[in-house]
Amino acid sequence: MLGHPLCTNFAIIKLFVDYVMHSSFTYRQFNSNFTCGDPTILPYGLIHSRNRSTVGHNVRLPKA
């Protein structure tokens, strides 16, 4: 048993969010000399990672 599916899915999403937040922060710091910082980078990354996580979850579901 892997535990409650909702808890497992939440843990996976949290890992993706943490990774994207760290990546976006590093990306913005790296490009700080070229741009003033785009505040849309982080929200876009969060939405994109959530969509990827959802698609991956749907693909792994067994077909009825």
Instruction: With respect to residue 64, please indicate whether it lies within any of the assigned structural domains.
Output: no
pLDDT, mean over the chain: 58
The answer as to whether 63 is a domain residue is no
Range(s) of the domain holding residue 9: 4-53
> How many structural domains comprise the chain?
1
Residues 6 or more apart from 31 whose CB is under 8 A from it? Answer: 37
In a domain? residue 62: no
Q: What is the mean pLDDT of residues 12-32?
A: 66
Alpha helix positions (H), the chain: 5-30, 41-60
- Chain position carrying tokens 């996976």: 12
Q: Is residue 61 a part of any domain in this protein?
A: no
Identify whether 20 is part of a domain.
Answer: yes
Residues 18-37: b if buried by 16+ CB within 10 A, e if exposed: eebeeebeeeeeeeeeeeee
Q: What is the pLDDT of residue 56?
A: 46
